[in-house]
Structure 1
Amino acid sequence: MQRHADERGFGIVEVIIAMFLLAIVAVAILPALWQGIAQTATQSSTATATRYLNSLVEDAREAHSCTALTSIATPPSSATPMEDGRGGDLTVSGTVTNCSSGSTARLTLNVSGGGKVLASTTALIFIP
């Protein structure tokens, strides 16, 4: 059988083999891609919880009474929960200790979402 000059290039067999190899590489990369997407979602929730926690600490710094600090640490059950970017609810829990007028109170806050604590902090707040 003679080869003619116009028969050069890729044949259908080469194209099918190339597509098969590309499919194998794509399937091999898929678990890493899925893991990356899951990690991004988790980090997004953690970042939202951290920003929410920072805003609560700023609110606590502006509070000038033990009652205001306690309402920040333990919001009422009727309070609307904060939502993260994925639509999950973020809930706040915390404690206030050593709170009296003219002293420094210790405020401990936790922000939880999806059944686990996403962010927590302890702040010292002066009560005038």
Structure 2
Amino acid sequence: MRAIDSLGDERGFGLVEALVSMFLLALIAVAFLPLLVTGLQAATANTTVTTATQVVNEQLSPISAHEFTCTEVKQWLQETPSTLEDSRGVTIYVHRAMGSASTNPDGSLLCATGGTVTLQVTATSASAPAAVGASTYTSAGAIVRIKGP
């Protein structure tokens, strides 16, 4: 009978090969971890911007397709839009303003029958639109035709 040489018969993976392959797989996974974290951060930031954009559109949609009197435009500007939180708990502040071309030199609303005014809605991270460190999530404007005083 022939003796079986156990050292000459090396079929399959041994324990060392399995450990090396697991180490290489872990190394590749760790290399992709920063990419995953960056992607998650971008997704959460996009959630806030999407919510802010929806709110700004909701503020502008009632006024963008109609004619208004100067008094109605002033009332709309004086109304304080509600502050809200997105799904992550980030507070979004909504601000209304008129465009600079729609103001008199003293800063009051320039209303002329048959004329137009530009109205702006901005969503920011601060209660004051020009606050230091405030982030502007989104901003949109609409041109409104004035039908009378």
Same fold, TM-score > 0.5, yes or no? yes
In structure 1, the partner of 2:138 is: 119
Contact 2:119 2:141 in 1 (8 A): yes
Query: Taking CA–CA contacts closer than 8 Å with sequence separation of 6 or more, which of the two structures ends up with the larger relative contact order?
Result: 2
Counterparts in 2 of 1:48 and 1:63: CA distance versus 1, 3 Å: farther
- In 1, the alpha carbon distance for the partners of 2:82 and 2:141 equals 23
In structure 2, the partner of 1:85 is: 87
Map residues 26-41 of structure 1 onto 2, 5 A cutoff: 26-41=29-44
Higher mean alpha-carbon deviation, 26-35 vs 60-69, is at 60-69
Contact 1:82 1:90 in 2 (8 A): yes
The count of residues paired between Structure 1 and Structure 2 equals 123
Contact 2:119 2:142 in 1 (8 A): yes
Three-state SS of the structure 2 residue aligned to 1:59 is coil
CA RMSD in angstroms comes to 2.6
Paired-residue identity, %: 28
Three-state SS of the structure 1 residue aligned to 2:136 is strand
The letter for the 1-side match of 2:28 is V
TM-score normalised by length of structure 2: 0.69
TM-score normalised by length of structure 1: 0.79
Q: Give the Å deviation of 1:82.
A: 1.9
The letter for the 1-side match of 2:16 is V
Q: Give the Å deviation of 1:109.
A: 1.8
In structure 2, the partner of 1:106 is: 118
Q: Which runs of 5+ in 1 are unaligned?
A: none
Task: Return the match for 1:67 from 48, 60, 74.
Answer: 74
- Structure of higher CA gyration radius: 2
In structure 2, the partner of 1:47 is: 50
